[in-house]
């Protein structure tokens, strides 16, 4: 077989193995292995159906009877590149895009065959992938005529009962029955016309192990779980959640359309309060979402939404996969948050963790593992089922019921809560049997396609992406992968894994290395440019200078590395900025902006980093006395008019607005024309904008010649040195820059830096300036209308209520409304203001 991956079909001959002796190691939630994507070279029965170690139960209807006899639908009916299925699978689109993958065609044929066959089996026995992913309508608690039906897959259990508040925690009168597929079920009739299990009451699944010992577990498909906050270390309880219509939140706003490029605000609801406590979904919706919209992000990525018993795990040790984190509220509260985001034109992505599960036995899915074989468990057995560095359990992606559980989990969050997509965590761990541990990824294709590849997990991810995009065609799905596996961001129909984007995880490590280990004059313009542009053709990346990883205790944010202790004493605008602060603010703006402009097709920022939030993140734990002091966001720093944090916040808002107007992130035109090591200047074009970054700590260049594509007149679109952004105001915004032709048209070697035109600019030290070309049709416009974004005010981060209500009444979902706050008609040189539309009576419910 291919590695230790189990499958339905014989594997091709083994491919070359990877080296095992690397010094690198992946740590929990912080990977030291570097992402080095490679550039392209030029050029029916009622019995259990079993095969090997897999058991495939037939479709289970709501009355627990096996059904079959439905038609098999076509496989890959939307696939333009694959004309046949099986041994004749020659037209793999991914290979035609990258000829360097030709020698790995056997691997792609094998995994596509595995994917197609798995999909066919699901269609044959479950009615299709989408039907299969409705497991939450069959398992767990569901209303049926005259009662509540509860089902649980626990084949290793000898006996089972349902217990809870409703029966005094005595399950002797509520014993469950087991079918041939290991599914326990019971129907609990209504009592007096009311459900026997009251809404919001506690429940647990009690079962007897093989040794005769009874244990209580939270139901695997539970939709809500809570813990007694007054009792330290108390176990969680499952909660039956079925609110009456009057208490059920109803969505009021449509999901915003998919943007040309995602500008993502990564957020953690619990730590979003300015006070040292856990914040709520509703408080986040009312207080934080308007900030995000005001800074011109179009997408919110929510961390730690799925229930996790250990708060300090940052949400990555999931215990209850279908339950919202109860620390911040109940399921209806989360729906309110998402609907409010949609009313502002913000899409919402979930940080979903299907790479592993908490090893917590009492509260989590691991409690169903009582030593049974892999085919009767959610997890692999032995070492393969345990992640040594994360101290967590690893799923058996080849198991039929695991596939049902995980795929249904995705559909649940999409349909019940209206999420707009996912960021899949820990994908590197899923893709390889070694999980990336002690593995240095160099870009050698043998590292990606060998017996080390976990084909079971790859097939699951292919099924997941196919399902997500079928249910929600506008979904955005992002992979957190540090390895750079080719094809991860290509469609399933082309032989890829199907993600829309991958995170460009090497970029923040490069910045941290420069900031900690190099003086300013040692920074290499070539190396910075290569690091930002080193990504695979046709596979989109989300770039970021820092995320939550760089803020975790033991590390520092970029702002804190740059300014350190000066952030406590040198941030007042009432005194002259210390040199460390002047340098820090300038480089903070430049690092984030060049990462956005050159690093990918999307951009991500973690909550608070947009204004240079000081210090670090440290969740309450025994080591800090269970303090929340470092587990919050000090929004007041950005709001205070006399503090310099406002300058970084204003620039963040402006660079997002620049993309809103010019859509440079979505442009495929990206040309780096100059990386001058002596001058410390990088010049590049993205779309039709020209970017000039001067990283030199001292030198200002007057009449600096920059190349461009199109001839004409250019003006400043964005200037990091503007006074509004804490700069020194050295660049004039009223100047016109006219181009001069360079060399022979159509002969790049005769041009200036291979560009057919050029113009001259003033480039001060430690600044970045963007220039846009004035269209002929705009020549007659007033100069103020043409100036673009430079006078976006740093104040008014959160607009007044009456202003935002007016803005919201004029704004369409997903489109910004440019508010002319001064009434002077100057258009873009204003703040983009949004406010939540009337959310009805729910808006006042806490």
> Could you tell me the strand order of the sheet in which 357-358 lies?
357-358, 392-393, 386-387
CA dihedral over 269, 273, 279, 283, signed as positive or negative: negative
CB atoms within 10 A of CB 307: 27
| Active-site annotation, residues | 425, 480
Q: What is the mean pLDDT of residues 690-704?
A: 98
3-state DSSP assignment of residue 206: strand
* pLDDT-based confidence at residue 46 (cuts at 50, 70, 90): very low
The pair of structure tokens assigned to 730 is 């050295």
Q: What is the mean pLDDT of residues 378-406?
A: 96
Statement: residue 670 has pLDDT above 80: yes
CB of 81 closer than 8 Å to CB of 93: yes
DSSP-assigned letter for residue 389: T
Backbone region of residue 712 per phi and psi (left: phi > 0; alpha: psi in -120 to 50; beta: other values): left
Q: What is the pLDDT of residues 799-819, one digit of tens each?
A: 443 443 344 444 333 333 222
CA dihedral over 487, 491, 496, 499, signed as positive or negative: positive
| Residue 615 pLDDT | 84
Residue keyed to tokens 């009312």:
286
Q: What is the mean pLDDT of residues 421-448?
A: 96
pTM: 0.84
CB of 703 closer than 8 Å to CB of 564: no
| Residue 16 pLDDT | 31
The pair of structure tokens assigned to 170 is 């005595």
CA dihedral over 233, 235, 236, 237, signed as positive or negative: negative
- Rounded to whole angstroms, the Cα distance separating 637 from 645 reads 6
| Residue 92 pLDDT | 85
DSSP characters over 330-383: -HHHHHHHHHHHHHTT-EEEEEE--S-EE--TTTSGGGG-SS--GGGSSB--GG
Statement: residue 9 has pLDDT above 50: no
3-state DSSP assignment of residue 533: helix
Q: What is the mean pLDDT of residues 128-146?
A: 97
| Residue 550 pLDDT | 73
Helix, strand and coil content of the chain, in percent to the nearest 5, comes to 30, 20, 50
Q: What is the mean pLDDT of residues 25-41?
A: 32
| Residue 284 pLDDT | 98
Task: State the helix-helix crossing angle for 331-343 and 400-417, rounded to 10 degrees.
Answer: 60
Statement: residue 654 has pLDDT above 50: yes
- Rounded to whole angstroms, the Cα distance separating 326 from 40 reads 47
Q: Are strands 476-479 and 421-424 parallel, antiparallel or unpaired?
A: parallel
* pLDDT-based confidence at residue 83 (cuts at 50, 70, 90): very low
The pair of structure tokens assigned to 50 is 């079993």
CA atoms within 13 A on the CB side of 173: 9
| Residue 790 pLDDT | 56
Statement: residue 764 has pLDDT above 90: yes
Task: Name the nearest CA neighbour of 476 among 254, 262, 251.
Answer: 262
| Residue 80 pLDDT | 36
Greater confidence, 514 or 789?
A: 514
The Cα angle at residue 809 between residues 803 and 815, in degrees rounded to 5: 100
Contacts of 539 (CB under 8 A, 6+ apart): 37, 486, 487, 488, 489, 490, 502
Statement: residue 64 has pLDDT above 60: no
CB of 681 closer than 8 Å to CB of 692: yes
Burial class (CB in 10 A: 0-12, 13-18, 19+), 732: exposed
CB of 445 closer than 8 Å to CB of 452: no
Percent of the chain with pLDDT over 70: 81
Q: What is the mean pLDDT of residues 348-371?
A: 95
Statement: residue 714 has pLDDT above 50: yes
Burial class (CB in 10 A: 0-12, 13-18, 19+), 825: exposed
Query: pLDDT averaged over the chain?
Result: 84
* pLDDT-based confidence at residue 22 (cuts at 50, 70, 90): very low
Burial class (CB in 10 A: 0-12, 13-18, 19+), 27: exposed
Statement: residue 659 has pLDDT above 90: yes
Q: What is the pLDDT of residues 411-420, one digit of tens each?
A: 999 999 999 9
* pLDDT-based confidence at residue 759 (cuts at 50, 70, 90): very high
| Residue 78 pLDDT | 38
708 phi, psi to nearest 5 deg: -150, 170
Statement: residue 261 has pLDDT above 70: yes
The pair of structure tokens assigned to 245 is 């219509």
């Amino acid at each position: 077989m291919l590695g230790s991956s189990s499958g339905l079909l014989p594997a091709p001959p083994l491919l070359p193995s990877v080296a095992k002796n690397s010094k690198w190691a992946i740590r929990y939630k912080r990977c030291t292995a570097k992402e080095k994507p490679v550039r392209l070279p030029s050029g029916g029965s009622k019995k259990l159906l079993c095969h090997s170690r897999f058991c495939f139960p037939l479709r289970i209807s709501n009355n627990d009877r096996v059904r079959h006899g439905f038609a098999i639908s076509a496989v890959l009916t939307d696939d333009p590149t694959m004309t046949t299925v099986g041994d004749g699978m020659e037209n793999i689109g991914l290979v035609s895009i990258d000829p360097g993958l030709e020698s790995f065609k056997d691997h792609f044929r094998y995994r596509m065959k595995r994917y197609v066959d798995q999909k066919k089996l699901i269609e044959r026995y479950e009615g299709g992938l989408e039907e299969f992913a409705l497991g939450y309508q069959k398992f767990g608690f569901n209303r049926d005529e005259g009662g509540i039906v509860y089902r649980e897959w626990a084949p290793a259990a000898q006996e089972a009962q349902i217990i809870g508040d409703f029966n005094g925690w005595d399950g002797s009168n509520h014993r469950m029955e087991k079918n041939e597929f290991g599914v326990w079920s019971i129907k609990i009739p209504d009592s007096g016309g009311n459900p026997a299990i009251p809404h919001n009451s506690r429940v647990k699944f009690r079962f007897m192990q093989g040794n005769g010992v009874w244990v209580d577990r939270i139901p695997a498909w539970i939709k809500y779980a809570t813990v007694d906050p007054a009792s330290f270390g108390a176990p969680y309880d499952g909660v039956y959640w079925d609110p009456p219509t009057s208490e059920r939140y109803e969505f009021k706003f449509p999901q915003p359309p998919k943007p040309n490029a995602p500008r993502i605000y990564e957020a953690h609801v619990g730590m979003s309060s300015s006070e040292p406590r856990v914040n709520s979904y509703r408080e986040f919706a009312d207080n934080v979402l308007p900030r995000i919209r005001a800074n011109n992000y179009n997408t919110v990525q929510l961390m730690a939404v799925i229930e996790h018993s250990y708060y300090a795990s940052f949400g990555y040790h999931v215990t209850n996969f279908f339950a919202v984190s109860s620390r911040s509220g109940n399921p209806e509260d989360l729906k309110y948050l998402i609907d409010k985001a949609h009313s502002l034109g913000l899409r919402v992505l979930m940080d979903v963790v299907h790479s592993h599960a908490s090893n917590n036995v009492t509260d989590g899915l691991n409690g169903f593992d009582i030593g049974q074989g892999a085919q009767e468990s959610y997890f692999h057995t032995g070492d393969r089922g345990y992640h040594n560095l994360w101290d967590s359990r690893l799923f058996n992606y080849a198991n039929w019921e695991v596939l049902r559980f995980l795929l249904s989990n995705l559909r649940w969050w999409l349909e019940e809560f209206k999420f707009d997509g996912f960021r899949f965590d820990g994908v590197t761990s899923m893709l390889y049997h070694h999980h990336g541990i002690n593995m240095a990824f160099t870009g050698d294709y043998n590292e990606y396609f060998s017996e080390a590849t976990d084909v079971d997990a790859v097939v699951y991810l292919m099924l997941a992406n196919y399902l997500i995009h079928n249910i929600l065609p506008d979904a955005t799905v992002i992979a957190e992968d540090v390895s750079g596996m080719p094809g991860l961001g290509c469609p399933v129909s082309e032989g890829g894994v199907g993600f829309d984007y991958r995170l460009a995880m090497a970029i923040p490590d490069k910045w941290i290395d420069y900031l900690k280990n190099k003086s300013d004059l040692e920074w290499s313009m070539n190396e910075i440019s290569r690091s930002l542009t080193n990504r695979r053709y046709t596979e989109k990346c989300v770039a970021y200078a820092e995320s939550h990883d760089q803020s975790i205790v033991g590390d520092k944010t970029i702002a804190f590395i740059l300014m350190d202790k000066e952030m406590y004493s040198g941030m007042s605008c009432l005194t002259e900025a210390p040199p460390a602060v002047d340098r820090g603010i300038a480089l903070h703006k430049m690092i984030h902006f060049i990462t956005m402009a050159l690093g990918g097709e999307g951009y991500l920022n973690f909550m608070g980093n947009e204004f240079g939030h000081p210090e670090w993140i440290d969740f309450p734990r025994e080591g800090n006395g269970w303090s929340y002091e470092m587990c919050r966001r000090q929004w007041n720093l950005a709001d205070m008019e006399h503090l310099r944090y406002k300058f970084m916040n204003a620039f963040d808002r402006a660079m997002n607005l620049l993309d809103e107007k010019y859509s440079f992130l979505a442009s495929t035109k990206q040309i780096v024309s100059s990386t001058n090591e002596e001058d410390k200047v990088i010049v590049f074009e993205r779309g039709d904008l020209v970017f000039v970054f001067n990283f030199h700590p001292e030198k200002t260049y007057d009449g600096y010649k920059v190349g461009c594509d199109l001839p004409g007149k250019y003006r400043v679109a964005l200037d990091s040195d503007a006074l509004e952004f804490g700069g020194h105001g050295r660049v004039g915004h009223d100047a016109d820059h006219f181009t001069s032709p360079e060399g022979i048209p159509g002969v790049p070697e005769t041009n200036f830096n291979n560009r057919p035109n050029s113009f001259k600019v003033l480039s001060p030290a430690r600044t970045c300036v963007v220039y846009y070309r004035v269209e002929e049709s705009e020549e007659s416009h007033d100069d103020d209308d043409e100036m673009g974004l430079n006078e976006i005010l740093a104040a008014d981060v959160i607009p007044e209520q009456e202003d935002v209500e007016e803005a919201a009444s004029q704004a369409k979902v997903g489109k910004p409304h440019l508010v002319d706050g001064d009434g002077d008609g100057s258009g873009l040189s204003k703040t983009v203001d949004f406010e939540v539309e009337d959310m009805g009576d729910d808006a006042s419910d806490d």
